[in-house]
Amino acid sequence: MYQLAPNIELLFTEVAEYHDRVRAAAAAGFTAVEMWGPTGVDAPARPKDIPALKAALEETGVVLTAQLSEPRTQFMIPPFDDSPFFNKLDEGVEIAHQLGCTRIVVGSGTGFGGSKRQVQLDKLVDIYTRATKQIEGSGITLVLEPVNVRVDHPGSLLDRTAEAVYVARGIDSPFFGVLYDLYHSTVEGEDVAAELANAGDIIKYVQVADAPGRGEPGSGAIDWTARLGDLRAAGYDGPLGLEYYPTKETLASVEYIREVAARA
């Protein structure tokens, strides 16, 4: 059985405040949640009341499985300006510590046609090697998310799971890995089982949404029993972040994935 972590940016939005969404998730039987950026630097995330969020997590015993780095789209390669990311990284780690979160999601930013792709990927290795060293000893794992460029993130550099795995292997740290998003991978037309088999224990976190449409599991064409079976076969037993745009009320939208995850 997989632990499910509803994204409180997208789910339980019937409740206005993020900390109250944690309570709503707990009341619905969830033991974990995830969120986007804590200070709202990047839209569409909004600033969180960190003390109130901390209190809600402690009161309910709900675990925050992941938060986004800020700024989110931090790099354009070139001009190689990574200073905003590094300037905010320590703050993100401190907030993660306050909230008991052990993962920070990072991205690649945008690519640049005038530079060879390999050069750009190796630049990411350099950036995140330095980032891992900057937060060494914090206990925080950075997870790199490849995203689809066909629908949601045109212009993003990193759109292939194998290339994110290449970057992570280049960094070679137990505190750096890949966020595998089943929705993004499916939209890019990847072979899920093959990508997961290649990645192995480099996969440190997984998010789910259905495709097409990015709605709740069961709203699209993904075979969820088969795909969660692929995750199991690859050895992944961590949480599943529910990062989707619901087509129905929150509790109704989670019914199907809860049933499938309970059998996985």
Q: What pLDDT is attached to residue 51?
A: 98
Q: pLDDT (tens digit, 9 = 90+) per residue, 104-162? A: 999 998 887 778 999 999 999 999 999 999 999 999 999 999 999 999 999 999 999 99
Q: What is the Cα–Cα distance from 125 to 120, expressed in whole angstroms?
A: 9
Q: What is the mean pLDDT of residues 232-248?
A: 97
pTM for this one? 0.97
Q: What is the mean pLDDT of residues 195-203?
A: 96
pLDDT band at residue 65 under the 50/70/90 scheme: very high
pLDDT band at residue 44 under the 50/70/90 scheme: confident
Domains of the chain, CATH where assigned: 35-248 (3.20.20.150)
Q: pLDDT (tens digit, 9 = 90+) per residue, 4-36? A: 999 999 999 999 999 999 999 999 999 999 999
Q: What is the mean pLDDT of residues 38-51?
A: 93
Looking at beta carbons, which pairs linking 54-62 to residues 24 or more positions away fall under 8 Å?
54/98, 54/99, 55/19, 56/19, 56/20, 56/22, 56/23, 57/22, 57/99, 57/100, 59/23, 60/22, 60/23, 60/25, 60/26, 61/26, 61/31, 62/22, 62/25, 62/26, 62/30, 62/31, 62/32, 62/33
